[in-house]
């Protein structure tokens, strides 16, 4: 049964899930509202289930619809990956390559690398996904990913590009006003910038540095870029990549002998993209640039 269901029905299904209304989904998908309505009705009939119920605020997904969402999103990622692969087929370096990396890497490190890459290959389009979440390359959520952990999936091509040192930094203005802490315990008397929700990196830090946890932080955000901006503004002491901090002479490292996190950095790509010209040159350019940065 499912094999006869057309992809556009699932596409409209995802559109309604995200927009909450037929009209909103139609605008996002670039089709008419009646077409979206017919797609939803046809999908419900094919599956033999009710996917949405009407309410005063729009269409509410049923439990069945919510359970199908991940599967439909996987289909969407696969379709997008297929389109990207087709657009950059052959030997021409053109089409779209989707790159995933942390927000700090995307903002502070990758722009000059990508600028040089596109100067050489102007027909290449690059999509940047700013996230600390480990994108699932096997599901093709991204074509290439920069990760702070060695991937263990056999289907991935991985290249180690170096180690990034993360330390504690503060602006000189902040240290002039509040002094320099002499120990991790002394951070309790300072404005410390840190995370809101724990991540794998944070758990690693907490294991390595006792006393450096959420309750210590006066300023909390899960955006590394926001943390960096707060450090640069003199708001407090926070974790930062040493190589990024070195670009600003006003940023001063503190507790260097007590807080130093070494992050192995890898660039990865699905082996199925090995012969994709656009992905191959992007992978090589990112590897070369990141090696120069972190190697």
| Band of residue 1 on the pLDDT scale cut at 50, 70, 90 | very low
Give dist(CA 130, CA 105) in Å, integer: 8
Q: Is 134 left (phi over 0), alpha (psi -120 to 50) or beta?
A: beta
Same domain, 34 and 54: yes
| CATH code of the domain in which 58 resides | 1.10.10.10
Residue ending a domain, choose from 49, 76, 103:
76
Same domain, 192 and 252: yes
* pLDDT tens-digit map of 39-83: 999 999 999 999 999 887 789 999 999 998 888 887 876 776 666
What sign has the CA pseudo-torsion 249, 251, 254, 256?
negative
* Number of structural domains the chain divides into: 3
**Two tokens, residue 66:** 């919510």
Q: In this prediction, what percent of the chain has a pLDDT beyond 70?
A: 88
Do the domain assignments include residue 81? no
**CB contact at 8 A, 202 and 190:** no
Q: Give every CB contact of residue 273 below 8 A, 6+ residues apart in sequence.
A: 85, 143, 279, 280
| Band of residue 200 on the pLDDT scale cut at 50, 70, 90 | low
Do the domain assignments include residue 34? yes
**CB contact at 8 A, 59 and 21:** yes
Same domain, 146 and 23: no
Whole-structure pTM value: 0.66
Q: Which domain holds residue 148?
A: 87-162+265-294
Residue 91 backbone dihedrals phi, psi, to 5 degrees = -100, -10
* pLDDT tens-digit map of 106-131: 999 999 999 999 999 999 999 999 88
pLDDT on residue 91:
56
């Amino acid at each position: 049964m499912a094999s006869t269901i057309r992809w556009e029905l699932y596409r409209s299904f995802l559109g309604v899930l995200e927009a909450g209304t037929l009209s909103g989904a139609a605008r996002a998908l670039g089709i008419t509202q009646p077409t979206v309505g017919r797609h939803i009705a046809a999908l419900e009939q094919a599956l033999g289930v009710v996917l949405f119920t009407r309410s005063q605020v729009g269409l509410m997904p049923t439990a069945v619809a919510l359970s199908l969402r991940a599967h439909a999103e996987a289909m969407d990622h696969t379709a997008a990956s297929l389109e990207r692969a087709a657009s950059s087929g052959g030997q021409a370096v053109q089409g779209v390559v989707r790159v995933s990396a942390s927000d700090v890497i995307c903002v502070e490190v990758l722009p000059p690398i990508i600028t040089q890459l596109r100067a050489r290959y102007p027909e290449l389009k690059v999509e940047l996904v700013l996230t600390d979440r480990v994108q699932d390359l096997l599901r093709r959520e991204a074509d290439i990913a920069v990760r702070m952990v060695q991937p263990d999936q056999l289907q991935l091509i991985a290249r180690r590009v170096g180690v990034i040192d993360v330390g504690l930094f503060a602006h000189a203005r902040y240290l002039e006003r509040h002094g320099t802490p002499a120990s991790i315990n002394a951070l309790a008397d300072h404005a410390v910038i840190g995370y809101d929700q724990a991540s794998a990196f944070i758990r690693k830090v907490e294991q390595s540095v006792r006393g450096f946890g959420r309750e210590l932080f006066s300023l909390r955000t899960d955006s590394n870029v926001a943390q960096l901006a707060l450090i640069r503004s003199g708001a407090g002491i926070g974790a930062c990549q040493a190589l990024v901090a070195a670009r600003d002479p006003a940023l001063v490292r503190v507790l260097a002998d007590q807080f130093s996190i070494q992050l192995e950095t890898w660039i990865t790509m699905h082996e199925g993209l090995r012969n994709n010209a656009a992905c191959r040159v992007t992978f090589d350019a990112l590897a070369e640039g990141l090696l120069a940065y972190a190697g």
